[in-house]
Amino acid sequence: MTASLKVAGLAFAYPDGYQALFGVDLEIQRGERVALLGPNGAGKTTLVLHLNGLLAGGVGTVEVAGLPVEKENYPEIRRRVGVVFQDPDDQLFMPTVHDDVAFGPANLGLAGAELEERVHEALDLVGMAEFSDRPPHHLSFGQRRRVAVATVLAMRPEILVLDEPSSNLDPASRRELADILRSLDITVLMVTHDMPYALELCPRSLILSGGVIVADGSTRDLLLDDRLMRAHRLELPFGFDPRNVPA
């Protein structure tokens, strides 16, 4: 079986000479939920932008379900990789929720009833169907984040890439989003600093530090490896002990 996502030997330096990635290798199988952990400046966002070809020009390869991320494949790659950015105000740029969710599939050439069906399906998955005609600035932050997830689900992606999905969410919105992510039958790569959230949702984690993958294993084992965590500026929140969380 082809992996959902396969990154091999990926290295990248920004035009100003700052090198962010030094040879990243990783593979994610279909249906897995994987957390990508790492301190600030580890190259997490740079890696995410490579997954759908928004950044390119370095060394190494990225493949999504067997299809290499190369210029001629960009339209299909961007359908297959659904990136949810950290700030929903960046992601939601159309005047209404409906139009925003329709933006992706419409770019894929869908129209009419088929397009409407996609929009409904995606909004239903995140429980936002009744807000279809609202402008995004009338929604709460948690609702906007959910709509942001719907905007990429509407493209029926192979893999969902979430950049800090739990940031700025209150505990209730955080749990609602977790329920939604668990209910989806889709490969998920979640970039986060939120260790409890990673443990809750992702059986497997990768640690990106200094532009390379330094650890790959079960989330619980990684979080319990005190030396590894400390070496890469990762910390558990005060009072949080993964051992107390039922497996």
Minimum CB separation of residue 75 from another protein in Å reads 6
Answer for which of 36, 62, 123, 155 binds another protein (CB under 8 A) is 155
Given the rule CB under 8 A, which of 12-20, 109-117, 121-129, 179-187 is the region that contacts another protein?
Answer: 109-117
> Integer distance in angstroms from the first to the last C-alpha of the chain?
28
Answer for which of 13, 67, 106, 184 binds another protein (CB under 8 A) is 106
Name residue 141's amino acid.
F
Describe the strand order of the beta sheet including 212-218 as a list of residue ranges.
Answer: 81-84, 159-163, 187-192, 33-37, 204-209, 212-218
- Smallest CA-to-CA distance from 141 within 90, 95, 180 is with 90
Minimum CB separation of residue 103 from another protein in Å reads 6
Answer for which of 9, 25, 31, 89 binds another protein (CB under 8 A) is 89
Minimum CB separation of residue 123 from another protein in Å reads 14
Q: Which residues of 119-142 are buried (b: 16+ CB within 10 A; e: fewer)?
A: bebbbebbebbebbeeebeebeeb
Answer for which of 4, 5, 44, 52 binds another protein (CB under 8 A) is 52
Binding site for another protein (CB under 8 A): 49, 52, 54, 75, 78-79, 81-83, 85, 87, 89-96, 98-99, 102-104, 106-108, 111-112, 115, 135-137, 151-152, 155
